[in-house]
A and B are shown apart, each in its own frame.
Chain A
């Protein structure tokens, strides 16, 4: 007779919890040196509950199955010249932004979870963080593999790693993850595990990837959804960590609330790039940024915060600002890139008449009033051969590093300027939350590597814009400037047999 099969709960207990050991001859505190310095109090790690009872054995089994499915689609995509079947070559620019801006973040998350997977004292949390660390490594690898096919046919992919460390707009995601990784293990878990994974990644991976499918890009939708299937596990880890910290000790509440306030805003600002990708960069639109925000943040996030109320957690008080900004965000962001596309590794364009009608329909209170006239003027200037570029360098927010272009919601024609003085030096911010994040930890944010400051100090290739572009490894007239007239556009016309 074969022995009785273990049930899920027992199997999980034996293959996870039982992997831990007692510290008999070493001081436990020395083994986990970061566990106390953030002020978090843990009384009993055994109270940690893993909702997904995944053992390493099952983890490898299911991950292997996901990979097989994923790579079969990559192969089919490449063998069938899938790149010629996307709706419009403009679409590929969203992928360039994804590879240069998002994928290196997966790698940063891999490193971050490796750190927390070592430093948290509880075995359940350590195992989950280690699985997530491996997942994140899988994500950057599958993303690079998917994009390597596009790299054969389009400009702007080849130097993604070099660019991530240098380009002005890529310092936004880079500094976001560096901020999280230089925090302690618990802040990292609230920053990336909870705020980013649980509350915000749906916005990146679900509607945008559904949009990729809608635009004929099977490779991207597949890595997106394959990554997101890991994400469901990550979200659960994020929710578990916040509940665990709040249940362990009441003194943890104010610390956790402060981290939440900080990281939901940091994450939201980062998603500005996604807002713009959804509203402006997908030729076939699935849903607007505003609709996605309402479904995945206001609805799903609202239910979550209602559940966390029992612990004394409150929705951050800037949520009203976000609610108002959802009607402006993507338009203001695309305008930033339109003005500075000469220094960007992807192409821009003015929205077509049809696209503007879609934007008017989706943003009835703001698009026609504030943004349509601007795009019409830009298109008119373009037609006259007077394409508008901003040649100066923008002021950057000291916290989120985005150019200061967001406006007051009480007057959407007025740019927000906030400032703080620290050690007799003046620092600038795009918003009240970015200012208060700085004011809480000024000694951290004064060290920010702000691309514009670095350019002006001569640290980015020296002299003029031509030198900076060279330092970025951008070949002028190839991966930058407008889509119209680019080598990408010419190749696309050639494939499609259009004159």
Chain B
């Protein structure tokens, strides 16, 4: 279900312009991220889709129809909604929270609860959490329940207002991965609001950058916004690291992968002048053996220096550069999908590949 903003303006009685003549076309089945500093009208725009806020002028179309033609309560039951802190009902169990919209829509109690249990599984929560109250859950778990509740009625549209900003960074990344995995399976039209450009770039098929005063600064793919910011505001907002972040969208095809000397754990490595990569029986990297190391008998993990990040073959070049820069040996370890060592890359080789790349960030 596509969403369209047509010349939408929202002015408050005190004269504040929250959204200024916004035109935006959101494609069916994609994740579109509205991103910008506070006061840019991103949440206001989001809330106009489900009529929590009414536009002063212009119209919001959902599947071609003006949302103001619909009964607000019925409209909202057809649009999933997730907010920061999840907004769960503290007085209802997890299962009853998730069953809220099916029950409002008149499903039977039993069917609604069955559906809720199914949803808990989909968002990766153990079924026994169903009988707990929200206060008994961690922040990350509450957020998952929030997502499950928004999905329960199988609404084609999902609105998410900074849903992951209140959890710690590690949990946040897990939730982001989960959302992408879910989206692959469900293909919803998701509108996601955040102030975090990294999150926007990570999740969005399209990113809409809004500026203070509620006007659209730029709308495009994440790669586009990072590589070709239209003006100083967008360039400033996407930040100093945008060149480095842009590498997330560049393939590593041109990087030459070299052989790397390896030694096997449990074997007798002898002595060698250079760094050697220790692998286990499955061929997976376990760490580095420094030059001129003398190992007494067989090689164990105690003899090794911890390795850097691993670069999985076929992913973006950013990972290859990071692997090379974080390796104690100066060699980024390249692995295949099963985690087995394929070879290694140096930072020089990665940079050469970036410079000779036709779509290089350097040319932006």
Whether A associates with B in a native complex is no
Q: Please give the residue numbers on chain B whose beta carbons come within 8 Å of chain A beta carbons, in ascending order.
A: none
